[in-house]
Structure 1
Amino acid sequence: MTTTVDHTSLHVDRAALVVIDVQTDFVDGSATVPGTAEVLPRLAQLIRAFRAAGRPVAHVVRLYVPGSADVDTVRRAAVEGGAQIVAPGTPGAQIPAVLTGGAAVELDAGLLLAGGLQELGAREVVVGKQRWSAFHRTGLDAWLAAQDVDSVVVAGCNLPNCPRATLFDASERDYRTALVVDATSQTTPERLADLTLIGVNLVTTDELAARLLAP
């Protein structure tokens, strides 16, 4: 008898949460992504559950230096021209305090732009990126390996762009993958169905929190 090996189901006991681009400019600032403000309460609940379970959390942020060309192509002309979108040192680049335990965290732009990881707490970091995927030119993969992670759970801002690219790159690195549907903005049935074709698990905040915190 042939045994089918399961390579896609989520392992919550070896999972890390990757929160994508939840920054003030994208929540309700100069580059607002509709629906992102509305998922903040569930994102906060999700992060609390991962912390309570002792599982790793990575906040992935963009930092666009005005005048720089190191920007995804669709925003490059604007940023090269001096537009301030999640610009280092501005309020718009910051992570909403509700996601960092209630206290404002000043991002270390120099460290993040140089590829370093900013520690927020036990097994919780900030990762900087300049393109769609959280894995592109970042230290995320090495950090996940150091945390003994085999499953990547994605949530956050604007599914068709950075969360989607991150899920594809995670799958290409042989991680088991999941998207938290009610803690991610810009989801549609078609976009979600597309992700299931590459083995992405679709979960809700309540479902995942219950699994993380089960006795």
Structure 2
Amino acid sequence: MTDFTFTPARAALINVDLQNCFVEGSPLASPEGPALVARINELAAACRDAGMLVVHTRGWMRPDGSNLGVMAEIVPPFMIELYTEGFEAAELHSSLEVDDRDVILSKPRYGAFHGTDLDLVLRSRGVDTVIISGIATNICCDTTAREAAQRDFRVFFLSDGTATKEMAGVPADELQRATCASLSMVFAQVITVDDMIARIRAGAPTGDLSPAGVG
């Protein structure tokens, strides 16, 4: 099993698509959405305490459809509308804690690196390690993790910091297990939120350690 070295000063958290349409209240939402956001808020706070960058991505299609490409032939229009600029469903969920130091990244495809300046943002800060959280595990989170690995970033993928929903008759828990299993083979180190927080706090400068210690 992969066991990457971890240095908080060279790491960033990428929260994938914690938008209204994926968190709750839409056909695309994960049943775990609200609980997932609460776990990620705790993780993001630990990251900021350690001086790490936190990035929030969002699927963000142009209202005129000019950047849809082949997606217009694959994805039903009602689904695309849910993450189109200008629609409330596309906005980051109100329970997600976003700090002034965080980066909000709009992306036109499932992976956070394609068609964005994420690679530049990370490398300009000396980041060589990313932590992937968000929704949906087997689509945007998986794609982002694979893109990162192919760019030689060390990838930590959160087994309980990502979530999905039933798709094409396959239950969410099966999709979750299959995605984590595939990624763990050749793309990422799969880890829980609690274990990730512990590693962040253990590697942070003494002055940044939480008074509560590792939970």
Change (3 A) 1:72 1:165: farther
Count of matched residue positions in the alignment of Structure 1 and Structure 2: 189
- Aligned partner of 2:33 in structure 1 is 36
Structure 2 Cα separation of the partners of residues 46 and 135 of structure 1: 22
CA deviation after TM superposition for structure 1 residue 82, in Å: 9.8
DSSP-derived class of the 2:15 partner: strand
Structure 1 equivalent of residue 59 of structure 2: 62
184-193 or 147-156: bigger deviation: 184-193
Aligned partners of 1:31 and 1:67: how far apart in 2? 23
SS at match of 2:120: helix
Q: Is the 8 A contact 2:138 2:176 kept in 1?
A: no
| Corresponding position of 1:210 | 198
Q: 1:142 and 2:120 equivalent?
A: yes
Q: 1:83 to 1:210 in 2, by over 3 A?
A: closer
Point out the more displaced range, 134-143 or 34-43: 34-43
Per the alignment, residue 68 of structure 2 pairs with 71
Q: What secondary structure does 2:137 align onto? A: coil
Partner of 2:100: 121
1:12 to 7, 11, 17: 7
Which letter does structure 2 place at the counterpart of 1:30? S
Q: Secondary structure at the match of 2:81?
A: coil
Q: What stretches of structure 2 of length at least 5 have no aligned partner?
A: 165-174, 207-215
Aligned partner of residue 144 in structure 1, secondary structure? helix
* Aligned equivalent of 2:22: 26
Deviates more, 1:165-174 or 1:195-204: 195-204
Does 2:186 match 1:191? no
2: CA distance, partners of 1:82 / 1:16? 30
Runs of 4+ in structure 1 off by over 6 angstroms are: none
Kindly provide the amino acid, as one letter, of the partner of residue 36 in structure 2: V
- The amino acid across from 1:28 in the alignment is E
Name structure 1 gaps, 5 residues minimum. Answer: 1-6, 102-119
Structure 2 residue 132 is matched with structure 1 residue 154: yes
More deviation, 130-139/24-33:
24-33
**Corresponding residue for 1:89?**
86
Identify if the C-alpha distance between structure 1 residues 193 and 27 changes in structure 2 by more than 3 Å, giving closer, same or farther: same
Structure 1 residue 133 and structure 2 residue 106: aligned? no
Q: CA deviation at 1:8?
A: 6.5
Of 32, 39, 46, which residue of structure 1 is paired with 2:43? 46
Q: Residue deviations 1:169-196, cap 9 Å, x none?
A: 1111110001111110025222211001
Q: Please give the secondary structure, in 1, of the residue aligned with 2:82.
A: coil
Structure 1 position 52, deviation (Å): 1.1
Residue 97 of structure 2 aligns with which residue? 100
